[in-house]
Structure 1
């Protein structure tokens, strides 16, 4: 079922960053839309086909979520940063009835997105406005099957989120079969990714959890260029899932196991 955006809602000024958020047709399909923040494309949504994901790193995270449980089984998911709510829409489409929580620091953004690009009926989504770490600290006793962290962009990332201590706090909020997926955007050389991989590996080791996996474009890992990499950790990861992650792409795809991730991170850090 397709959902038509409200024509009167197109842009909003974000009080936190001072940037403008704007929704516009993608020019590719009748129901496709871009979310731009500060003039830069941040997210994409296809209202008719919410399982269509155009950003490759989000597609990789969606593949990881696909393997969390049997197909169609609901997942409890915490999204720390969510843009146009692309992943929450995907989870609802593939696993109807999944209870989801979004934490967003830009107060105006979630209501703007939900008004301009309506969510599917029946979506169980709670919106929390605030800092990701502070919000997580307030969720005493809450456990999630998956936590998705999507707030990092290289050296501009908030230092209090890009650290071992925060990763340890996030891992502590997973169920016994849960996982943490982290999007890391980085510049050529991938030094920021390397630091985050090592920080997450340390947190996982301290918690007695399995090591850290990396999913990325294979060319990016060969040339160490600019791009996005996905780190995955948590008790819910089975080594045999790596084959499915690799096969699902987007291609060319690469999946590094914990040993490979740590070895490369130590070389690039």
Structure 2
């Protein structure tokens, strides 16, 4: 693991040979990774009120999104579940968290950390955890989805960063699994990934309440990277006949190279 600084004063956190986060300590609103921008756009569209949000992050690395939440929703109590304690120590030393933050990092796996959380304790849960460039199978199965549903408030919002090869068959199975618990599932995706031109990330959004498709399409249209919002009806058509994951799920496909999670 390492932190690589650039001429702009920002830093890329790398682990297992893959870039995990990009952080500008002086500008937490600068989001360089495509999928991190999309996560923020979804929150901007669905949680526009600047009031504090109770957010649980499964996966931490540089804690880019947690820093963004702290700036956009001041006073938000946030829990970061990051089992790599040496990585967290490196990030704290080289990329200190902002003053006045309420971000608490727990050195546990996502499964251990979520199991210890109170029922209905989170307004938002963000799952962004990879092992050697892949989403672990334990973070895709039906048992995991049930636990996420348990810790979410009834009107809570679940955001998952997934990665898949052209055709997005793994993402389709993930969405089918989520639909077993959540009435509304949508996707924020780069147009070139949606069209099957390359391996890439897909931000999957799940909720018991209807999602504001108008606002989500609006923020997708003005994203820095050409993006599209796939509403629930379209996602339902994409997953029709798709077999959901079992209790433990399967790991996402192997990325072709580190460019799958590249900066631009």
Give the TM-score normalised by structure 1: 0.83
Query: Separation in 1 of the partners of 2:79 and 2:66?
Result: 9
Return the offset for 1:154: 9.8
Return the offset for 1:128: 1.1
Structure possessing the higher relative contact order (Cα contacts under 8 Å, 6 or more residues apart):
2
CA contact (8 A) 1:65 1:146 kept: no
Return the offset for 1:24: 1.7
Match of 1:26 in 2: 6
Q: Secondary structure of the residue that 1:74 maps to in structure 2?
A: coil
Return the offset for 1:262: 2.4
Could you tell me which runs of 5 or more consecutive residues in structure 2 were left unpaired when the two chains were aligned.
244-264
Return the offset for 1:143: 1.4
1:185 and 2:163 aligned: yes
| Equivalent residue for 1:120, pick from 98, 101, 106 | 98
Query: Separation in 1 of the partners of 2:83 and 2:38?
Result: 24
Question: Compared with structure 1, are the counterparts of its residues 155 and 122 closer, same or farther at alpha carbon in structure 2 (3 Å cutoff)?
Answer: closer
Q: Secondary structure of the residue that 1:101 maps to in structure 2?
A: strand
Could you tell me which runs of 5 or more consecutive residues in structure 1 were left unpaired when the two chains were aligned.
1-20, 205-209
Match of 2:220 in 1: 246
| Equivalent residue for 1:132, pick from 103, 107, 110 | 110
- Pairwise mapping of residues 8-27 of structure 1 onto structure 2 (< 5 A)? 21-27=1-7
| Equivalent residue for 1:231, pick from 192, 204, 224 | 204
CA contact (8 A) 1:168 1:203 kept: yes
Query: Separation in 1 of the partners of 2:42 and 2:22?
Result: 19
CA RMSD of superposed structures (Å): 2.1
Match of 1:255 in 2: 229
| Equivalent residue for 1:48, pick from 17, 23, 26 | 26
Give CA deviations for 1:194-214 in whole Å, capped at 9, x if unaligned.
11111111221xxxxx32000
Q: Which moved more, 1:231-240 or 1:179-188?
A: 231-240
Q: How many aligned residue pairs are there?
A: 242
Question: Compared with structure 1, are the counterparts of its residues 155 and 266 closer, same or farther at alpha carbon in structure 2 (3 Å cutoff)?
Answer: farther
Query: Separation in 2 of the partners of 1:233 and 1:93?
Result: 24
